[in-house]
Structure 1
Amino acid sequence: MSGGGRKTACVTGGNGYIASALIKMLLNKGYTVKTTVRDPDDMEKNSHFKDLHALGPLEIFRADLGSDGSFDEAVAGCDYAFLVAAPMDLNAENPEKDVVEAAVRGTLNVMKSCVRAGSVKRVILTSSIAAVSLRPLQGEGHVLDEESWSDVEFLRAYAKQTRGWAYPVSKVLLEKEASKFALDNGISLVTVCPVTTLGKAPATKAHASIPMIVSLLSGDEALIQTLQHSEKANGSTPMVHIDDLCRAEIFVAEEESASGRYICCSLNTTVLQLAGFLAANYPQYNVKIDRVGDIGGDQKPPRVCVSSAKLIREGFEYKYKTLEEVYGDVVDYARAMGILQA
């Protein structure tokens, strides 16, 4: 504890989409927050910190995932460390080195700093549904939970044909290495695997999921194809609102009995269902439902269901459960970000 009973949390990658929203929620809950960025002087990426500073005590530190010891100052005196920052270069020249190895090394670098700090009660690692759902699945009616893992060998076998294969591989391997490190060093570690995350965040740049999830409105053909490819690879288009994700991260941090992995997903849907919803609710964008499937086929359930039953069973409750609620403010946010025309 620090600052008259306030809990202190470190959030890595504070200019990121999820991290910025998490910082805002922690400050609103009365936490003292320390966050890290690679370049604190980059005002284009860091301008949102001005508004966040007004909410409560926030310190910003320079740190680099590739540099051992650079997180020591940021995690010193912290009760919780939220590991959100991660390399995500889909066009890396050497994906094995620049994405996979960098992600594992960066995660362990922060965890080593947590060991040295001696004050960190729990590390909360943000992974991804990409570490859960990418595997060969035949037929329909599959339910994936925390025991499910993406198939690393399967992903590597198709590396030449599949753009971005290193990202899910990095998530699987960093989860497993982090778990081993935590066990060897007596650290309490919980991992959160969020699905496609929607909603407004303080960060000045929207996460890649936002332009993709509004692509049916923007008419961006390349992103519509990415959305369809994602559903084909995952078997569904699972979603969660960013507020629910941040609430879940704080829940598993504070809940003493929490352990292991937690999938964070409030809704399993399909691109066709999404298209039908958007066409009905945003007629001004002229969504072409037949572009993504047969009209009337939107009643068909997803081939794969991503289960968040563990999180719910342990006492967490989602606030945004329907497509209307989850999609909520994403259109206004995308307009504000310049992704969508008003």
Structure 2
Amino acid sequence: MAMSAAPAGGNKKKTACVTGGNRYIASALIKMLLEKGYAVKTTVRNPDDMAKNSHLKDLQALAPLEVLRADLDAEGSFDDAVAGCDYAFLVAAPANLVAQDPEKELIEPAVRATLKRDEVVREGGDGEARGPDLVGGRGLHDYIRPELQGDGHVLDEDSWSDVEHLRAAKPPLWWAYCVSKVLLEKAACRFAAEHGISLVTVCPVSTVGAAPAPIVSTSVPACLSFLSGDEAGLGALKGIEKTSGSVQLVHVDDLCRAELFVAKEDAAAGRYICCAVNTTVVELARFLAHKYPQYNVKTNFADDDQLLEKPRVSLSSGKLVREGFEFRYKTLDEMYHDMVGYGKALGILPN
């Protein structure tokens, strides 16, 4: 989520806060902001942990970048990071995907942390909040609707996951994470309405493409699983398709551009789905087998008759496009153009 704090005067360099600077999407957003001439503040739990934060040292060579210590559980932890910023991109959220007690360990902390950071911006800003990336990664899980039967469904920003279905059925793959994302966005919307804050959220889908972060989990390893042979990662993609009706993708560069676009656009309002490609596991496998024959990608999924040839449900970014945003990465070929090199740099793929 990005929030606008105090307006900058004259030609003063604008400042943006990006929370969770050692995370995948946040690292790409920081790099983009620095390249566009912004001064940036970012928060991490432990600035001295170079295994997670070495890329931030490299990014400091591009433009002013201040790395601050902050913790979602510590009161007042984000005050200094948000103070004096024109934009605050609240990207980080709890992501414990193997919690023993999801309600206590993931859902409640996620909602509590979101409200806490909203309060910080309300107190430190001018009452104008802009919110890209409030929902975070894998936004497709925020569209699990068990009543959708048959093919050809197109979902937009009016669609929300059925939280009670998720809690009752507990489908595999991050059901509690999905619930937390729905609840934290709705909580932030209520908070904004109660305090006269204009709130805008961007809901991204599975995000791919190279970013500065040296450690990456979830979507990048999963989307490289066809090449790496990681059965758990491939299982994650299959689970996404089975629970949501397709595999939806966006390139991290487009996601960051969309976040900045709605943050700066005065007319932006409400929710925005950020999805460029709706595909399936089978389509991905065939594409990757053709593009990278050296990896011997499996394309025969006859043993899994639940997999789809074509998407059964698609997410629409029509609202974002109608308001003037244009995706640069619109095909699988464009999505994967930098993924193999990034996978090798991360150690997911062999050099």
TM norm structure 2: 0.92
Taking the aligned partners of 2:118 and 2:233, their CA distance within structure 1 comes to 35
Instruction: Give the aligned length.
Output: 339
Cα separation, 2, equivalents of 1:43 and 1:12: 17
Match of 1:85 among 92, 111, 115: 92
| Residue pair 1:30, 1:56 contacting (<8 A) in 2 also | yes
For the Cα contact (< 8 Å) 1:205–1:337, is it kept in 2?
Answer: yes
1:325 and 2:342 matched:
no
| Cα deviation code 1:244-284 (max 9, x no counterpart) | 00000000000000011000011111111111111101011
Q: 1:26 to 1:242 in 2, by over 3 A?
A: same
Q: Distance in 1 between matches of 2:173 and 2:45?
A: 26
Which runs of at least 4 in structure 1 moved beyond 3 Å after TM superposition?
A: 291-294
Tell me the residue number matched to 2:264. 254
State the shift of 1:125 in Å: 4.3
Q: Distance in 2 between matches of 1:248 and 1:17?
A: 16
Equivalent residue for 2:317?
Answer: 308
Deviations 1:210-257 (A, max 9, x none): 110011111122221221111111101111110000000000000000
Determine the structure 1 residue equivalent to 2:152: 141
Q: How does 1:78-227 map to 2 (within 5 A)?
A: 78-119=85-126, 121-126=128-133, 127-128=135-136, 129-130=139-140, 132-136=142-146, 137-159=148-170, 162-227=172-237
Corresponding residue for 2:4? Answer: none
CA distance in 2 between counterparts of 1:292 and 1:286 reads 17
Q: Give me the whole-angstrom Cα distance separating, in 1, the residues matched to 2:141 and 2:76.
A: 27
Specify which of 52, 58, 61 is matched with residue 65 of structure 2. 58
Structure 1 residue aligned with 2:279 = 269
Contact preservation (8 Å) 1:134, 1:234? yes
Q: Which runs of 5+ in 2 are unaligned?
A: 1-7
Q: Does 1:334 align with 2:343?
A: yes
Name the TM-score, length of structure 1 as normaliser.
0.95
Q: Specify whether residues 225 and 118 from structure 1 end up closer, same or farther in structure 2 by C-alpha distance, changes over 3 A only.
A: closer
Instruction: Look up the SS of the partner of 2:130 in the other structure.
Output: strand
- Is 1:76 aligned to 2:66, yes or no? no
1:328 is matched by which residue type in structure 2? H
Matched, 1:7 2:7: no
Instruction: Read off the aligned partner of 2:46 and give its amino acid letter.
Output: D
Mapped partners of 1:168, 1:48: distance in 2: 29
Given that 1:80 and 1:124 are in contact with CA atoms closer than 8 Å, whether structure 2 keeps it comes out as no
Cα offset, 1:14, TM superposition: 0.5
Alpha carbon RMSD of aligned pairs, Å? 1.9
Task: Tell me, in whole angstroms, the C-alpha distance in 2 between the residues paired with 1:308 and 1:336.
Answer: 31
Residue 121 of structure 1, CA deviation: 3.7
SS in 1 for 2:300: helix
Given that residues 37 and 61 in structure 1 are in contact (C-alpha distance below 8 angstroms), is that contact kept between their aligned partners in structure 2?
Answer: yes
Q: Which amino acid aligns with 2:228?
A: S
Is residue 152–residue 312 contact of structure 2 (8 Å, CA) maintained in 1?
yes
Q: Cα 1:135–1:237, aligned 2, differ >3 Å: closer, same or farther?
A: same
What amino acid is the match of 1:201?
A
- CA distance in structure 1 between the partners assigned to 2:310 and 2:73 by the alignment: 43
Distance in structure 2 (CA, Å) of the matches to 1:292 and 1:60? 50
CA distance, structure 2, for counterparts of residue 244 and residue 45 of structure 1: 24
Rounded to whole Å, the distance in 2 between the matches of 1:173 and 1:91 is 19
C-alpha distance in 2, partners of 1:43/1:187? 37
- Aligned-pair distance for 1:124? 1.8
Aligned residue type for 1:329: D
Question: Any idea what the Cα deviations from partners look like across 1:133-185, whole Å, max 9, x if unmatched?
Answer: 112021111111100001100000023x6352110000000000001111111
Deviation at 1:118, TM superposition (A): 2.2
CA pair 292-230 structure 1, distance change in 2 beyond 3 A = farther
| Structure 1 residue 68: Cα displacement | 2.6
Contact kept in structure 2, 1:80 and 1:121, CA below 8 Å: no
Matched, 1:287 2:297: yes
User: SS at the partner of 2:286?
Assistant: helix
* 3-state SS of paired residue (2:66): strand
AA in 1 matched with 2:335:
V
